[in-house]
Each structure stands twice: as C-alpha cells, then as structure tokens.
Amino acid sequence: MMSLVNYIASFVVVIGIVTATTNFFNNNIRDLSSTVSISSEYNKFNLYMLKFTKNGYSADISSDNTVIIFSKSNEDISKITFLNNTIYFNKIKLCENIDSVLFQKISAGNGKDVLKTTIQINGEIYNTDYVLE
C-alpha cells in the first residue's frame, strides 16, 4: 500500500513539473511572436524609406507631419502616409497597429537634408534618421 502512495505522489510531482515547464515555454513563445511581428512592421517601412532616400528623390513633409511626399524629376510622386493607425505607401498598406508617427525634415550642417522619423508601434518607439542623397 505504501508503494502505491509513493507512486501516486511521485506521479503528481512529475505532472506538476511538466505543466510548469510547458506553461513557461508557451508564455515565452507568445511574447517572442508579438515582438517579431512589431519588428517586421517597422522593417517594411524602413525598406521603403531607404529606397527613396538613397536613390536621389527629394522629400517634402506635410504641415501635420504625417505625410512624406517623394518626387524625382522624371518619375511619379510617391507618398508615405499615416492614417487611422496604419502607414500606407501610396495605396499599399505597409504597417498596422501604429500608435503615433512624426516625420520631420531638417537641414544638416553639410548641406544635405535629413528625414527624421519617430514611429511608435505597440508601445515601442523607433527613431531613425535618413540622409537624402
């Protein structure tokens, strides 16, 4: 009878350890998954910004600092717009779940223009400066 009690007690301890370990890994995987999705949203935006800032486009910022208008002498005008918690490139949706956006254009000391972007996605803030070439 004593061996049966020991068997049941050890079985309950093992099940408790397995349950605690499983919960620990599941919670960390959920946290990691949300962090990766936030980074991927910002990376899509960053790729479009690099395309325009490094290829000779000029940029203008709207008066409310939520629209960047890129233009080149022989090409169409392209826009990056923040509207309804989403960033759009022309009419293509780039990023979702955006809390706030601030675009600024300043002149650097060397005569080049710099686009400063501040984007908050799910509480995480990304600041990046792009030099227009």
Which pTM value belongs to this model? 0.67
Average pLDDT, the chain: 85
pLDDT at 1 over 80: no
Per-residue model confidence (pLDDT) at position 18: 92
Domain with 77 in it: 2-131
- Give 6-30 pLDDT, tens digit per residue: 889 999 999 999 999 988 888 777 7
CA 25, CA 19: separation in Å to the nearest integer?
10
- Give 102-125 pLDDT, tens digit per residue: 999 998 888 888 999 999 888 888
Counting the structural domains of the chain, the total is 1
Average pLDDT over residues 23-42: 71
